Structure 1
């Protein structure tokens, strides 16, 4: 299990828990804001394998622009057969344009560290990626992307700003730092779900991805978002090549109330 688990925990947390198909449109008030914090329990093959915390940080400047940092922390539990993992991913969300300006990832797995920085181009059609393993020289690469591409974290947060409707499908291009592909999500039903925070009125969504290798899905991912104005992911299930993973919301703190954000241009509704 140790060899199989290596990389799967963090890869899934940052590649699935924080991913979705995005359509930044419709509403003028953001479903999230600085100060919001969500903590998840992650189970792998039916065993609690770790936790993840997603926080919308205080407004800051990045590359000369005002952004909200979306900070994601993933940590493995001390259980047999699991590599020690303590990773951090920061996505820089431009709340005025509903797009991501780039991201920083610090990966720490089995005491091996790696940094990855992605900076989206001003035209929204390219990205500069810098990768560096500890003790090695940084490696740079440039990628051409479809206009309006988001990273995996920004995609979910953009989706949260959409008025979800049963039967509707949403789609958006996503860039992982090495691969670009189209992600799709369809709202299948509105139902009641029992959670650690009590019964929740939720939308059940089926999400199609194109991850490969250990993250390849045997079936589409299923996610449940609250049906209120926050649209918080409360449960996510995925059947990967190496087994099943489930993430459940355990604690949630709402962000500070802010003035309405500018409406974004509608895109890619199917």
Structure 2
């Protein structure tokens, strides 16, 4: 796998051109879900004190997938964005082929799962295990517990980018389809997400750009931590 427990990626966020906060992607220690060994992925987003004054963001996603990265096992999303709140749980019942969704304990009727379905965060980590070729499209069933669709990730181009701190990276720019499945930020009708993944076998996202209901967020990688718990910058992946 291109990732292992202990990997932590930390990003600085900008809203338009204003410093906005931090985000992180972390692979936690392996765990067990309903008797099955699982990866545990965590994504957090936190606005800074200035942004808090008018649009406070405190988001956390916890995703659990089997060790072969063939399907999701459990998913939770705690979302606080301005006045918008969510406390979602998606329970994957593969024996019955169903996903069970609740928000603040209020349950919806279960939906049928397509074989190999991932939650939105595990789907991203699945992308990191997949070879990328510009012009091609990666497809996989994705569910947020309310609907189950074929998620599509388009590999736009291979591109060398330079971050604000001056580091340059050889990357693939990819764009997941956002119309049907909710992600981290509160959805808008024309939501769009772009990722720049390193063009090596780890496929680390070094830049994230998202168009959401209140404008554009850009996140750039500032540090990584590997499974051996030794912190370092991502300079080893730059060109």
Secondary structure (helix, strand or coil) at the match of 1:246 reads strand
1:70 is matched with which residue: 34, 37, 41?
41
CA RMSD of aligned residues (A): 2.7
Structure 1: gaps of 5 or more residues = 1-29, 133-137, 258-270
Give the equivalent residue in structure 2 for 1:12.
none
Change beyond 3 A, Cα 1:191–1:60 = same
Equivalence map 1:16-95=2 (5 Å): 30-79=1-50, 81-95=53-67
Q: Deviations over 1:91-141 (max 9, x none)?
A: 012113532101123334569875322111214842012321xxxxx2222
Structure 2: gaps of 5 or more residues = 230-239
Relative to total residues, which structure has the larger strand share, 1 or 2?
2
Secondary structure (helix, strand or coil) at the match of 1:190 reads strand
TM, length-normalised to structure 1? 0.73
Change beyond 3 A, Cα 1:96–1:211 = closer
Native 8 Å contact 2:112 2:148 kept in 1: no
2:143 is matched with which residue: 170, 175, 188?
175
Instruction: Report deviation, 1:232.
Output: 0.8
Residues of 2 paired with 1:177 and 1:116: CA distance? 9
Greater relative CO (CA pairs within 8 A, separation 6+):
1
Residues of 2 paired with 1:112 and 1:239: CA distance? 17
TM, length-normalised to structure 2? 0.81
Residues of 2 paired with 1:240 and 1:71: CA distance? 21
1:243 is matched with which residue: 191, 212, 215?
215
Equivalence map 1:114-193=2 (5 Å): 114-123=86-95, 125-132=97-104, 138-141=105-108, 142-193=110-161
Equivalent pairs counted in the alignment come to: 223
